[in-house]
Structures are given as structure tokens and as C-alpha cells.
Amino acid sequence: MRLPSFIRPLPTLLGVAGCLVSLLGFHATPSIAEKKGERVYSFNDQGELIQPQGYREWIYVGTPVTPNELNNGKAAFPEFHNVYIHPDHFKKWKKTGAFPDGTILMKELVSVGSKQAVSGAGYFMGEFIGLEATIKDSKRFKSEPGNWAYFSFTQEGKKPTKTTKAMPADKCNFCHQAFAKDDWVFTQYYPVLRAAKPGR
Ligand code: HEC
């Protein structure tokens, strides 16, 4: 298409302006859920958490690994734990250094696939073998310590499920309450969250 000569530079100018706007950070529009203060997760009529989807595209924060070999052959959470936080809540953490009401983190367990690669001996990820979640919700979980509830979609000896009830506090919450660095979350093992925390 031929444009009149005086507006020919316009597309380029608009492009440059667009880039500048993104560079200055003005493109960071809040998601719809964040704007309305809505929850990004949902529960069914039985009060069970519906397995969140798309979490592998959230913000990845770290991968602790507790292999059986280093735990007398019986690690409580064997192998790799890939941890993700929803982008809306990461954004708030980055700004305030706190986890907002409605925060959700997912932890996906991955088996140790191989212990040898061209780079040397070590632990290399195998298959996805488990999925857990934690949610901070002051309305739904007002009686849970810190308002955090814990969920496991995969429990030993049982088939994985698409929905699951919150675990009793004495199974999960107590350990997070006692040992996690920031508000029930083990940020001491998540370099991405540590690096993003303001005032560090
Ligand atoms: C003995 C202590 C302990 C118990 C009990 C425990 N956790 Fe954790 N949890 C950890 C540690 C340590 C981490 C840090 C990452 C890792 O090593 O997996 C963690 C991380 C997590 C995370 C990632 C987000 C975060 O808070 O750091 C989720 C989700 C999670 N645990 C779910 C559960 C569930 C569900 C249960 C109960 C079935 C449970 N945890 C019981 C120690 C515990």
C-alpha cells in the first residue's frame, strides 16, 4: 500500500514510541483477576480445590531436591520439587515483599531420571510424579494458621486426582509455619523470590 509521503514515517514512529512505553514499564497492565481482587483458583461444591491449569507458565521460583540417597533411602518428598507462583502474586511480592491475600503457589514433583550425563554424574529430571498447592486465603481459610491451606493431588498409594480437599494443618501447615522464612513460604530455597524481594 502506498501512503502519502507525509505519513510514511508514522508506522516507524509509532513502533519506536511503543517500544519506549514498554521499556518504561507502562505495559504492565494488571490482569483481570487482579483488578477485581478475584481469586485465580476455584473450589467445587464439596469445598475441594480444582486442579489449577497452566501453572508451568507461571513464575518459576526454584527447584529444591531431596534425593533418597541423602535421606537414608526414604526422603519425605523424594526427588525434585519445581515451585511456581502465580504471576499476579509475584508482581505484588516484588512490589511489597509480602504475599497478598489469594496467593497460590504450586509444587510439582519430578523424579530423578538419570544420574549420569555428558556433563558428569548428578541428578537429572525424569518424569512428573506429583502435584501440590498452597493457598493463602483469609476468608476461606480463616481458621488455618497464617490463613494458608495445603493440597496434594497425588498421595502415596492413591491415583492422582483432579480435585482435592485441604490437608489437615498437622500434616503440612505446622512445618511451613515453623521453618519457612517468609509467611509460611520457603523463600530461603527460592532464589527467584529472594532476588525479587524489595529492599534486599
Ligand atoms: C517437614 C516439613 C514439611 C512438611 C510436613 C510439609 N512441607 Fe511443604 N515444603 C517444605 C519445604 C522444606 C519446602 C521447600 C521446597 C521443597 O523442598 O520442596 C516446601 C514447599 C512446599 C510448597 C511450595 C511453596 C512453599 O510454601 O514453599 C508447597 C506447595 C508445599 N510445600 C506443600 C506441602 C503439602 C501439601 C504438605 C502436606 C502434604 C507439605 N507441604 C508438608 C517442608 C514441608
Pocket of ligand 1 from Cβ distances under 6 Å: 64, 77, 81, 83, 105, 107, 132-134, 150-152, 167, 171-172, 175-176, 180, 185-186, 189
- Domain assignment of residue 90, yes or no: yes
- Domain assignment of residue 8, yes or no: no
- Domain assignment of residue 7, yes or no: no
Q: Which range has the worst mean pLDDT, 5-9, 65-69, 184-188?
A: 5-9
Domain harbouring 44, CATH code: 3.50.70.20
Pocket residue to mutate for ligand 1, from 103, 173, 186, most atoms within 8 A of Cβ: 186
- Domain assignment of residue 20, yes or no: no
- Domain assignment of residue 107, yes or no: yes
Q: Give 118 Cα–ligand 1 centroid separation in angstroms.
A: 32
If you search the block for the grid coordinates 512445618, which residue do you land on? 175
- Domain assignment of residue 5, yes or no: no
Report the number of distinct structural domains present in the chain.
1
pTM: 0.86
pLDDT at 10 over 60: no
Q: Give 77 Cα–ligand 1 centroid separation in angstroms.
A: 8
- Domain assignment of residue 96, yes or no: yes
Distances (CA, A) of 167 to 48, 107, 154, 174, 193: 11, 15, 12, 11, 25
- Expressed as residue numbers, the domain containing 169 is 30-196
- Domain assignment of residue 10, yes or no: no
**Residue with more model confidence, 1 or 85:** 85
